[in-house]
Chain A
Amino acid sequence: MPFAGTRPPARRPRWKRLDPEEVRGIRLLSPTFLYTLAFLVGPVLLVVAYSFWTQTYLTFDHTFTLENYRVALTEPIYRDLLMRSLYISFIVSLVTVIFAYPIAYYISFHGGSRKSLLLFLITIPFWTGYLLRVMAWKVILGYKGVLNTGLIGLGIVDKPLESLLFSSTAVIITLIHAWAVFAILPIYVSLEKLDRSLLEAATDLGDGPVRRFLRVTLPLSMPGIIGALLIVMIPTVGDFVTPKLVGGTEGQMIANAIQIQFGKASNWPLGSALTITTMMIVTLMAGASVLVLRSLVRWMR
């Protein structure tokens, strides 16, 4: 059969070369995408803009200034709150991920037919309401709380421990409890994706269980670990309910200061600058953690 009649299609500009399938896909995704642009990206950009402005009582001065950032970074009160928030979110994410890994591993490798039931069991406490969970910890950690009365009852201490409630520790414990699921699920997903024959291959090539775990399982589940770390670290830095309810004065975090700027103090530009600063620094911290984790894995191999 002759094919001499075929000509190559004329060159068109790159953006016009979308085939109808692509156009349909983009068109279908765009309502959701545009919604997120309008209600998330746009507003966040406004926050960025405000952070460069100044406010006197109810009027805004729209001239560009870095004054808010100077205050946010150098005023001892904000610096201390920021440092504490970073410290808390770092410890919380680290501990949560370390505690979560064996659970995810257990469900993925030994869960058998009960996998989805176990996952469901793990997720239930997470759905019980954020305020209620924080409140439960208040009941546990209080001066006359469940933990103290229990310890006294068992004769381990003779008078209630005062440091339990209203401290950074209380905030950390509560957050670790609250964010457990968010760490388990990403790690579980990455372990599920791991091809089991790779483990057999590693054993076949002479690796014992420990070496095999360090050289195959752990590196290949790293995307899940990183996902878990980010999903816990970044949001916890901005929590203000937990510190307010169980943190006391010693356990306050940056979000409490931010909330005050948008409430009583009514200094939006400063609140915005605090927010942006916190976001930038926590993102840097998360990025650094990811780099450290990656190089750790490379070194172990």
Chain B
Amino acid sequence: MTLLRKAGASWLPIYAGLYLLFLYLPVLLLPVFSVNASAIPVFPLKGLTFDWYRSLAGNDALINALWNSLLVGVASALLATVLGICAARAITRYRFRGRRPMTAVIMAPLFLPEIIIAISLLMVAMQLGLGLSLILVIFGHVLICLPYSATVLISGFEGFDPSFEEASADLGETAFGTLTRVTLPILMPAIISSLLVSFTISLDEFIIAFFLSGSEPTLPIYIWGQLRFPAKLPGVLALGTLMLLASLLLLTFAEMLRRRAAKRTQLDGGFHA
């Protein structure tokens, strides 16, 4: 029995290491080939160059797509987080009939192919005679960000002791004062974390933007267009590397905030009998 356990204990870390390698290797190829002097991404490498990065600057179509993506990302993140706050607060604070089915509907986009969300919104827009636009993309992105934003916020709100707000009211503060002096400051890390996660999802999303963005491409749509031309691949790899770095920074920041929030509420909630 102990033998078996030992075998398991040594086998698992090796497996975990290989698995991480499988997850990371393809991703790490992007930065490697983005500084390779050859236009064709094959080994052996031909030498170091930053030409591909230089070619990105001054590309108007790219800059335009970037702005579109930022606009969509910020708007989606804000809207998804506001809706996520309502949902997370209702779910963590109140017990009511219909809570589970309603939550399930909000979480549903997690279990649906994005193509359904994309084509159904497309059809509604056409039916109503609305043109395709970034606004539609935002509506779609909010939908797919909501399950993530709600999950992040629920875990952040769970440690929030309802007595904090009661204590504030008890000490003479109004409902609005309680919101600004107690509730928001305590929940801020979770809220920022939700904003960052939603922004990142929106920034990377392709399918919904593909169907709904019309003549205003987002960054992934721009990249998709470039992929048709093999000569442009290294430039795309350079762009991908930059996006990777941006995502990484945002997510590390989000994770740090989440942990700080967890630590804070954990320690504070720890004294219940």
Q: Do chains A and B touch in the complex (CB under 8 A)?
A: yes
Residues of A that sit less than 8 Å from B by CB = 18, 21-26, 28-29, 31-33, 35-37, 39-44, 46-47, 50, 99, 102-103, 105-107, 110, 116, 118, 120-125, 127-133, 135-137, 139-140, 142, 144-146, 149-150, 153, 177, 180, 208-210, 230-231, 234-241, 245, 255, 258-259, 262, 268, 271-272, 275, 278-279
Q: Is the CB of B243 within 8 A of A36?
A: no
B44 to chain A, nearest CB (A): 8
B26 and A177 form a contact (CB under 8 A): yes
Per CB-CB distance, the 9 closest pairs between chain A and chain B, nearest first, are A238-B113, A25-B94, A43-B120, A29-B90, A28-B90, A22-B96, A25-B96, A136-B26, A32-B87
In angstroms, Cα B112 to Cα A40, docked, is: 10
Q: Which residues of chain A are within 8 angstroms of B35 by Cβ–Cβ distance? A: none
Known: A135-B240, A262-B119. 6 other contacts (CB 8 A): A21-B94, A21-B95, A26-B94, A33-B106, A102-B15, A132-B243
Least Cβ–Cβ distance between A95 and chain B, in angstroms: 12
Some 13 contacts from A to B, beta carbons below 8 A apart, are: A24-B94, A36-B106, A40-B109, A40-B117, A128-B204, A135-B227, A136-B29, A136-B30, A145-B41, A145-B42, A150-B43, A255-B115, A272-B123
**Per-residue A-contact encoding for B22-37, CB less than 8 Å = 1, 0 else:** 1110110110010000
A46 touches B120 (CB 8 A): yes
Instruction: Give the docked Cα–Cα distance between A202 and B95 (Å).
Output: 35
Chain B, residue nearest A282 (CB): B113
B96 x A262 contact (CB < 8 A): no
Nearest B residue to A184, CB-CB: B19
Are B4's CB and A127's CB within 8 A? no
For the complex, give the distance between the alpha carbons of A18 and B97 in Å.
9
A-contacting residues, B43-90, CB 8 Å: 43, 83-84, 86-87, 89-90
Chain A residues in 8 Å Cβ range of B13: 106, 110
Cβ of A105 and Cβ of B96 under 8 Å apart? no
Closest A residue to B9 using CB positions: A110
Q: Which residues of B contact A133 (CB under 8 A)?
A: 26-27
Chain A residues closer than 8 Å to B117, beta-carbon distance: 40, 43
Cα distance A288–B33 in the bound complex, in angstroms: 44
- Specify the chain A residue showing the minimal Cβ separation from B82: A31
Distance between B110 CB and nearest chain A CB, rounded to angstroms:
6
Q: How far is the CB of B245 from chain A (nearest CB, A)?
A: 10
Contact A103 B42, beta carbon cutoff 8 Å: no
Q: Are B243 and A33 in contact (CB under 8 A)?
A: no
A131 / chain B contacts, CB cutoff of 8 Å: 204, 206, 220, 223-224, 227
Stretch at the interface among B167-175, B184-192, B247-255, B264-272: B247-255
* Pairwise interchain contact A238-B115, C-beta atoms closer than 8 A: yes
Q: How far is the CB of B161 from chain A (nearest CB, A)?
A: 17
Which of A122, A129, A238 has the most CB atoms of chain B within a 10 A radius of its CB?
Answer: A129
Measured between alpha carbons, how far is A116 from B27 in the docked complex, in Å?
21
Judge whether A39 and B139 touch: CB under 8 Å. yes
Within 8 A of A (CB), among B106-154: 106, 108-117, 119-124, 127, 139-140, 142-143, 146, 150
